[in-house]
Chain A
Amino acid sequence: MSVPILEVVDLHAAYGRIEVLRGVDLAVPRGAVMALLGPNGAGKSTLVKVISGQKKATSGDVHLGGVHVRGAQTEELARLGLCTVPEGRSVFPNLTVQENLTLMSYAGVSAEAVLETAFAYFPRLLERRSQLAGTMSGGEQQMLAMSRALASDPALLLLDELSMGLAPLIVEELYDTVGRIAASGVTILCIEQFARTALKVADYAAVMSHGRVVATGEPGEILETMSDVILGGAA
């Protein structure tokens, strides 16, 4: 097997005195879609922040395509092809749709090409190109956010809680898009608290709990292991 696109080794990170990541080990093979699951507070989003350079790790290593990148600047990683779609509305609300798309060209693909791809895939955005992004519906904003993943041809796509606060139908649509991006060969690490939709598109799944990856494997296996635990715990 070739060098994994993303390899995280014994990663630790903390907020103040509280350690949130306590030795995370994770590898995402090239071209794979991995779903990272786990309850709220397990450290999933912190992991995303550390990988994307938004948060400093206290120890441990992050390799992207075999290159050691711990401590690299967020914007440098973004220009190198790490596309991170953070949780929440990840668009600029006071810029128009077209201006949002223009900014996506920092990742290396020309602005014209970004616009072309985005409008081809989401004709809705073409209709609203001069509208302020903040005045669109949640689903439309998420389409705009996904355009960056679609159009910038990233080496690794990090998706953080794509479905948060969105209506089911929109979530379905979004995951169709994720599936399509995956089909084009992009490696994806997809963080979700709610497994169902994410597991549909995933090749592998990993489970995080209390700051560690506690299980990895095929989606089926993971689901089996986890369901016991979860249901037991919820009682």
Chain B
Amino acid sequence: MSLLEVDHVVVQFGGVTAVNEATFGAEAGTITGLIGPNGAGKTTCFNVISGLQRPTRGQVRLDGRAVTRMPVHRRSKRGVGRTFQRLEAFGSLTVRENVRVARDIAGGARGLVRRSGADVDALLERVGIAAYADERADSIPTGTARLLELARCLAGSPRLLLLDEPSSGLDETETDAFGELLRDLASDGVAVLMVEHDMDLVMGVCDTIHVLDFGTVIASGEPADIRTDPLVQKAYLGYSDEGGEGDSWDATLADLPPVAHLDRGHEDDLTTVLPIADGRSAR
């Protein structure tokens, strides 16, 4: 039994169906990627899982128990933590205070029984934003704010971590470190479910990937299978901007008459002229 099961969830806004019979899950100790074009319903799925959006139909289960109608804060007490695509840091507070708030909330009435979350500064250190500890959260760079949201989640020692585009705003080194951190968390037994546009990261760290299109899961599997799945390529990688540049340009160019083939020896010169190389997805 998976830690998280999303079972035939449908979400309709007025007449528009944002999520259509989506079924997928996440296992403890693994990293699961949720990818798909814009408007495919990924964030809506996260809202349904975390309790901010009630589905029109379908069920969400944690440890086999339905939580579909459970309010947000009680799901959190059951170990669901999430970050936001559009940031939700507490802007008037410093970075350290942000995490303290999370720790205070997590402690709650059961604070005495439960492990009171890690020490705040150690958490900031762990996600790599200790240098910003005394900055106000509305004055830090986006990437840092995303890491802050992660640190805030971790203060509650979640069992299921929902990360909505966590790496956008991070540079390459930071992204690599972030990938390490995710691996680390998974090996601690946390189930990580992540919506992410950086294909290198997704392909690199995920154990399983679900592809969402028009609110429906069109493919699930290991990164290697997803990469070669013709359905995914057709519906997603080749035509939408959601893929990392590498994949999408590959797919784009594959359809064009052959041009001067890649010569990796030129890489260095060319990137100085056209520094697209590190132009990672920033959305």
Contact = CB atoms under 8 A, between A and B. Distances in A.
Q: Do any CB atoms of chain A lie under 8 A from CB atoms of chain B in the complex? A: yes
A196 B262 contact: no
Contact of B271 (A41, A171, A194, A229): A229
B274 A229 contact: yes
Contacts of B240: 163-166, 194
Interface in A191-235: 193-196, 207, 209-210, 214-215, 223-224, 226-235
Contacts of A1: none
B276 A93 contact: no
B281 interface: yes
A138 B266 CA distance: 41
A119 B263 CA distance: 50
Contacts of B15: 132, 134-135
A40 B16 contact: no
Residue with the greatest number of chain A CB neighbours at <10 A, chosen from B240, B246, B274, B282: B274
Contacts of B247: 234
B241 A194 contact: yes
B226 to A, nearest CB: 17
Interface string B240-253: 11101111111011
Given A41-B282, A196-B255, A234 B245 contact: yes
B277 A93 contact: no
A227 B274 contact: no
Contacts of B148: none
B136 to A, nearest CB: 14
Interface in B8-44: 14-16, 37-40
Contacts of B246: 230, 233-235
Interface in A127-174: 132, 134-135, 138, 161, 163-168, 171
A227 B238 contact: no
A42 interface: yes
A130 B248 CA distance: 38
A93 B16 contact: yes
A215 B14 CA distance: 45
A71 interface: no
A88 interface: yes
B279 A194 contact: no
A209 B281 CA distance: 13
B129 to A, nearest CB: 19
A198 to B, nearest CB: 10
B38 A40 contact: no
Interface in B226-283: 234-235, 238-242, 244-250, 252-253, 255-256, 259-260, 262-264, 266-267, 270-271, 273-283
Interface residues of A, number: 42
A210 B235 CA distance: 28
Contacts of B260: 224, 227-228
Nearest to B267: A232
B195 to A, nearest CB: 14
A233 B245 contact: yes
B16 A233 contact: no
A210 B256 CA distance: 25
A226 B39 CA distance: 29
Contacts of B263: 228, 232
Nearest to A231: B262
A81 B189 CA distance: 59
Contact of A230 (B245, B255, B273, B281): B245
A88 B276 contact: no
Contact of B267 (A210, A224, A235): A235
B239 A194 contact: yes
Given A41-B283, A138-B39, A232 B264 contact: yes
Contacts of A89: 39
Contacts of A226: 274
Contacts of A40: 197, 241, 245, 279, 281-283
A132 B128 CA distance: 48
Interface of B: 14-16, 37-40, 197, 214, 234-235, 238-242, 244-250, 252-253, 255-256, 259-260, 262-264, 266-267, 270-271, 273-283
Top 4 closest pairs, chain A to chain B, by CB: A234-B246, A233-B277, A135-B15, A231-B262
Interface of A: 38-42, 88-89, 93-94, 132, 134-135, 138, 161, 163-168, 171, 193-196, 207, 209-210, 214-215, 223-224, 226-235
8 contacts: A161-B241, A164-B240, A228-B260, A229-B274, A230-B276, A231-B253, A233-B278, A234-B246
Given A41-B282, A235-B246, A235-B267, 5 more contacts: A40-B241, A40-B282, A94-B14, A196-B252, A232-B270
